[in-house]
Structure 1
Amino acid sequence: MEPKKVLVITYYWPPAGGPGVQRWLKFCTYLPEFGIKPTVYTPENPSYPIVDEALVKEVPVDLEILRHPIWEPYAIGKRVGKDATQTLSKGIIDEDPSLLKKFLLFVRGNFFIPDARKAWVKPSVKFLKRHLEENSYDTVVTTGPPHSVHLIGLQLQKELGIPWVADFRDPWTTIGYHKSLRLLPWNARKHKKLEAAVLQAADHILVTSPSTKKEFEEISKRPINVITNGYDRSNKPESQIDLDKSFSIAHIGSLLAKRNPEPLWKMLAYLCANDAAFKKDLKLVFAGVVAKEVKDSLRAHGLLEHAEFKGYVGHSEAIALQHQSQLLLLLEINSPETRAILPGKLFEYMMAKRPILALGPKGSDIKQLLEESGSGEFFNYDELTTDYLGAYLLKAYGAYKKQSLELEQQAIAKFDRKALSKQLAAVLKSETLARQSSS
């Protein structure tokens, strides 16, 4: 049987770094095993906020990749304020941004709808329309953010009638940072209108969490499948990695100001002040961009001496850090808008088999996933008591001292990238898409 041909339209692709690139890099690696032949379309000259050249080696050698130029406003923004522009392009929004950052946020939010990559839509439609007319594909897949990528799929569907799957790695108008864009009322409505147009037109919708599915079901009657992010067993360290000698608590990835876990810093400071051994053993490891507000908070609580800031690290180093740390820290903004977020690193944390200490909003999908898999403990900010958090930390520290800080993990095989690719292949071969393709 001939494999089904799928055109994947994505902004993030190696050498882009960070979690956004991992999802479709892994899907494109494993889909051929399940009768799907992907082709990737991506920018020729993107302005990636994070670069990881090592990921280029993970791209399958036989994968066809199409590229087309993109114009982005960040090049102009760098002339106005390099640091501010790079910060915004990474998604780092300060708690109290400078006047320049406020101005750039206003421009980004109100003049570039739905996002700063919108100028890629028209030339991509023109380029891909010609390519699709000359080459046979069964389905087009768009993955966002940036959600302007979905507008490419929307237009191709309208003009060519090709079946289209819209993959949402994050929500659109309910994502946590959306309120920080300082949208004028009519532009906020424009975002909602575009979101609804995509959700109501796509032949199939993919999301990464149950809460996002529930949210989108209120807007669209189209089929919606939850296919979470995951971990890749092939990315495990080749050799055994020894655990840190210190009682290390590691956070891997960008740590934004609004994710700053003040109750945790306060409790760690209290334990350090009342337990000399705990103070001596504690180490806080941060791999990725850390907001100034977080560093200021650590300083205020006297924890800066325990902190190690590694900056951005490559994917392989990040995985090594996950395997050697005593505890892995997962933080989400305390807001209803973030309940649907299941960060990609959560699944790699699972693969590391180190206990996860998670803080987030009430009703977070993270809590259910951690409980089902036995991968860690979730603390709800709204009901968080220092006694509860302190008891957990002391219990973990006690186990660390006995060299018995381990997990009784279960049911994580379904989050393996190959297993998730099999789920995706079933969607791409579904009767709904097949009928659309033949009509």
Structure 2
Amino acid sequence: MKKVLIITYYWPPAGGPGVQRWLKFVKYLREYAIDPVVFVPENPTYPIKDTSLSTEIPEDITVLKRSIFEPYRFAQFFSKKDTNTISKGIIARGEKQSFIQRLLLYIRGNYFIPDARKFWVKPSVRFLKKYLKKHQIDTIITTGPPHSVHLIGLELKKEMGSKWVADFRDPWTTIGYHDKLKLGKRAKEKHTLLEEEVLTNADHVLVTSNTTKHEFEAITLQPITVITNGYDYEKGVEVSLSDRFTISHIGSLLSGRNPVMLWKALYDLTEEHPDFATSLEIQLVGAVSEDVLESIKGAGLTSFLTLKGYVSHQEAVAIQRSSQLLVLIEIDVPETRCIIPGKLFEYMVSNRPILAIGPEGADIEGLIKETNTGVFYQYGDYTDIKKQLWEYYQQFLKGTLQTQPIGLQRFSRKELTRTLSEVLKKL
């Protein structure tokens, strides 16, 4: 059985989408003759936690842990609220940033390159060099963000000649928040050089979208494989559909993901059709930025709003399946065309229609259309969005609001793991 070492920052009890990709791979790899060993930080600072995910770790899996120094702990002396908010990825618009927020972003962007977990690299390399010499490990896998994890793989590749796979759950220098870090010229150059060094030294690169693959092909000649995120078969999640026209968004709604045209369309429908107003519920699950809440309030929709906060993964799945309509929002900039949120695939298997809004040319548009799981609009499509909402509402009244998905099997976590195993066996 081929043995691989997976180096990841996010691991249960971490919550959120970042942990699930490799947790699910580890869950199924042995079925394809791959034996995983996992290396994670012993004392990480996770912005959100979900202890229920720990139940999915195979009982006899080897999980190595080593201490990590994280400057976020010291940053909390300045402002615990601002530090926690930034660590969750919620960055206010420039004019709304406090002095402390601007200072923390500048320090983060220019002194912690590629990120604030950089201090885990050297001690991890020291420990893993000894471990690799003692145990027969065929391949090393690193997954980022945080992209500092890739530097562990880079050093082990240089010093030991290990076979190395670099997995990019998100892009590096073109990720949506990169330009908000107030990077100086030197910092930008260093990020670019590190990204190129990782991409050109890894034996194989994994990405989650075709757009990221095309972007990286301009940097490296190394083989690149697209393995998207996916869905797993969730047991014990039995729910009834909401008797209201419940529109739900699962996951963080950051300042850049603020679909003001959606809020306007919903408000206008409540004004034009009293029965629509009686039925409507807007349900937001996860962290929501103040900008989004202000827009909802400004649109006159506060009375229809339910804020759930962060919930366990299993509860999030239940909410998806009980909602009448699911909303997916991506930031309206070219850099986010490559982003395919993990929740998209769970949305798809919920049999609830998806209303997605994002930038022109977004990868999510093609996926939603080819799987027949919903509709996609750009930010300026107010008239079409309003018309679609009314159409979905009419189907809701008739009891016919659902989807007929096509070809979802290839996105199951087990099938994606089979694809991963084929990559690993070729190395």
The separation in 1 between residues aligned to 2:31 and 2:238, in whole angstroms, is 29
The Cα offsets for residues 382-402 of structure 1, whole Å up to 9 and x where unpaired, read as xx3322111100100000000
The separation in 2 between residues aligned to 1:114 and 1:17, in whole angstroms, is 22
Matched residue SS, 1:31 = helix
Aligned to 2:352: 354
Aligned to 1:437: none
The answer as to 2:420 corresponding to 1:427 is: no
The separation in 1 between residues aligned to 2:136 and 2:340, in whole angstroms, is 35
Aligned to 1:172: 172
1:280 corresponds to which letter in structure 2? T
Instruction: Tell me, yes or no, if the aligned pair for 2:47 and 2:88 is still in contact at 8 Å.
Output: yes
1:106-121, aligned counterparts within 5 Å? 106-121=106-121
Instruction: Tell me, yes or no, if the aligned pair for 2:106 and 2:181 is still in contact at 8 Å.
Output: yes
The Cα offsets for residues 178-219 of structure 1, whole Å up to 9 and x where unpaired, read as 000000011101000000000000000000000000000000
Partner residue of 2:256 out of 258, 261, 264: 258
1:26 corresponds to which letter in structure 2? K
Identity of aligned residues (%): 53
> 1:242/1:385 Cα in 2 relative to 1: closer, same or farther (>3 Å)?
same
The separation in 2 between residues aligned to 1:385 and 1:150, in whole angstroms, is 40
Alpha-carbon shift at residue 125 of structure 1 (Å): 0.3
The separation in 2 between residues aligned to 1:241 and 1:425, in whole angstroms, is 34
Aligned-residue RMSD, C-alpha:
0.7
Aligned to 1:395: 391
The separation in 2 between residues aligned to 1:59 and 1:385, in whole angstroms, is 43
The Cα offsets for residues 317-345 of structure 1, whole Å up to 9 and x where unpaired, read as 00000000000110000000000000000
Q: Which runs of 5+ in 2 are unaligned?
A: none
Aligned to 1:404: 400
The separation in 2 between residues aligned to 1:193 and 1:325, in whole angstroms, is 45
2:303 corresponds to which letter in structure 1? E
Partner residue of 2:265 out of 253, 264, 267: 267
1:407-418, aligned counterparts within 5 Å? 407-418=403-414
1:336-375, aligned counterparts within 5 Å? 336-375=334-373
The separation in 2 between residues aligned to 1:385 and 1:211, in whole angstroms, is 23
1:61 corresponds to which letter in structure 2? E
Instruction: Tell me, yes or no, if the aligned pair for 2:231 and 2:346 is still in contact at 8 Å.
Output: yes
The answer as to 2:199 corresponding to 1:199 is: yes
The separation in 2 between residues aligned to 1:353 and 1:63, in whole angstroms, is 34
Matched residue SS, 2:177 = helix
The separation in 1 between residues aligned to 2:319 and 2:418, in whole angstroms, is 29
Aligned to 2:84: 86
Instruction: Tell me, yes or no, if the aligned pair for 2:244 and 2:280 is still in contact at 8 Å.
Output: yes
The separation in 1 between residues aligned to 2:256 and 2:383, in whole angstroms, is 23
Aligned to 2:215: 215
The separation in 1 between residues aligned to 2:55 and 2:399, in whole angstroms, is 37
Instruction: Tell me, yes or no, if the aligned pair for 2:242 and 2:322 is still in contact at 8 Å.
Output: yes
Structure 1 window deviating more from structure 2 (73-82 vs 92-101): it is 92-101
The answer as to 2:28 corresponding to 1:30 is: yes
2:420 corresponds to which letter in structure 1? L
2:424 corresponds to which letter in structure 1? L
Aligned to 1:52: 50
1:234-245, aligned counterparts within 5 Å? 235-236=234-235, 238=236, 240-245=238-243
Matched residue SS, 1:26 = helix
Aligned to 2:183: 183
Aligned to 2:100: 100
The answer as to 2:73 corresponding to 1:72 is: no
Matched residue SS, 2:167 = strand
Matched residue SS, 2:6 = strand
Alpha-carbon shift at residue 423 of structure 1 (Å): 0.2
Aligned to 1:131: 131
Matched residue SS, 1:330 = strand
The separation in 1 between residues aligned to 2:230 and 2:238, in whole angstroms, is 22
Matched residue SS, 2:122 = helix
The Cα offsets for residues 345-395 of structure 1, whole Å up to 9 and x where unpaired, read as 0011112111000000000000000011001100022xx332211110010
Matched residue SS, 1:427 = helix
> 1:239/1:100 Cα in 2 relative to 1: closer, same or farther (>3 Å)?
closer
2:412 corresponds to which letter in structure 1? D
Matched residue SS, 2:76 = helix
1:412 corresponds to which letter in structure 2? L
The separation in 2 between residues aligned to 1:386 and 1:117, in whole angstroms, is 41
**Number of residue-to-residue matches in the alignment:** 425
Aligned to 2:13: 15
Matched residue SS, 1:284 = strand
**TM-score (norm. length: structure 1):** 0.96
The separation in 1 between residues aligned to 2:238 and 2:295, in whole angstroms, is 35
Partner residue of 2:286 out of 282, 288, 305: 288
The separation in 2 between residues aligned to 1:128 and 1:230, in whole angstroms, is 30
The Cα offsets for residues 221-274 of structure 1, whole Å up to 9 and x where unpaired, read as 0000000000001x24x2531110110110111110110100100111111111
Aligned to 2:159: 159
Aligned to 1:301: 299
The separation in 2 between residues aligned to 1:409 and 1:203, in whole angstroms, is 36
Matched residue SS, 1:80 = coil
Instruction: Tell me, yes or no, if the aligned pair for 2:326 and 2:347 is still in contact at 8 Å.
Output: yes
Matched residue SS, 1:249 = strand
Aligned to 1:436: none
Q: Which runs of 5+ in 1 are unaligned?
A: 434-439
Matched residue SS, 2:349 = helix
Matched residue SS, 1:377 = strand
